[in-house]
Amino acid sequence: MGSDNGNWVEHICSGIDSCIEQGVDVMVLSLGPDSTKFNPDHPLQKATKSAYDHHIPVVVAAGNFGPGKMQSLAKAPWVISVGAVDADERLLPISGTGLEGQPGPTVVSYGMPAKLPNPDPRWPAFSPGTSFAAPKVAGIAAFIRACIRLIISDLGAQQSGQWSVFSQFIRLPVVGVIDTGVDASRLPPLPQLAEWNNQRGHSQFQFARGKEEEQWYKSVVDVLTGAGASCTMADSPETVRRALQLIARKLEGNAANEVGAGLVSWQETSAFMSRLTPGLLLAMFCPEAIGKLGDAMVDEMNRKLGPLWRSNKVDALRMNLYDGIRIAAVRVC
């Protein structure tokens, strides 16, 4: 995973500072110290906490130390830690986990390296591990953060009486990748539309929105107001964490200290976005409001209003905000 060498640590901290300065939307570290002991005063812990304090979700590989051990960065309460499963959704034997009854990774994802159409035969082969699972979750987290910004923007338009047929511009999310082996030539090719947008420098998008969506937002606000409940919506790291935990699909036969909330991939994300009911929206932004409303009222609201977006809207969001995610790569050595 990494080293405790002073120069190496200093370079990683500088990379984190660079990503903060660039204002990336999500940061991912598929590396960490050799230690499994959490020390909040370690320079790398302070650096990831600084990113969190700058409102940047930090995704960290859980480490490849096996059962009952997670690399120290993954133990920080402010990061989103990621374990790894194989193609059959079985936990990799090397995937870092928590001890029984103690916290484990936040979620897990597929730990296999990306398949490239024409790999250079001189490239070394990589084994599956948490270092490949973490970037997959980081991409989902960046997409979710962009969608959260769209929701906040649309709600603001509804509440201010400025609703129109198109949303405000939503910026293409940027993932800050800090690693020792960043190589753009080894990234999978972009899908056709994302490549077309990239070649033309398109970095922000508007999305069509209809009267049904406007009424959906109004109805949710009316229910909250009528019950004396409030909900502050923010695209914070904690909102992103809750979203990932809601997206995750539980893996039967695995405990929370092994796989966290469960498996996160595009399949689970698409399903979540296509069933984004008022209850899920509140669980993501303000779970305390659900307690104020009560389960019966939330269930009734879900039944009457249904999901916010139809499948064609989710597809448009994917093609523009997920397929073309930008990468700010910081290579350290």
What's the CA gap between 224 and 239, in Å, rounded?
Answer: 19
Which whole-number Å values give the CA distances from 264 to 116, 253, 277, 299, in the listed order?
Answer: 22, 17, 19, 25
pLDDT > 60? residue 78: yes
Judging by beta carbons within 10 Å of its beta carbon (0-12, 13-18, 19+), is residue 331 exposed, middle or buried? Answer: middle
What class does CATH assign to 6-331?
alpha beta
> What's the token pair of residue 305?
């209003």
What's the CA gap between 109 and 263, in Å, rounded?
Answer: 5
CB atoms within 10 A of CB 161: 6
| Contact predicate 16/51, CB 8 Å | yes
Buried (b) or exposed (e) across 93-132, using 16+ Cβ within 10 A?
Answer: ebbbbbeeeebbbbbbbbbbeeeeeeeeeeeeeeebbbbb
Per residue in 200-236, pLDDT (tens digit) is: 999 999 999 999 999 999 999 999 999 999 999 999 9
What's the CA gap between 137 and 107, in Å, rounded?
Answer: 8
pTM of the complete model: 0.95
What confidence tier does 5 reach under pLDDT thresholds 50, 70, 90?
low
Whole-number pLDDT of residue 219: 98
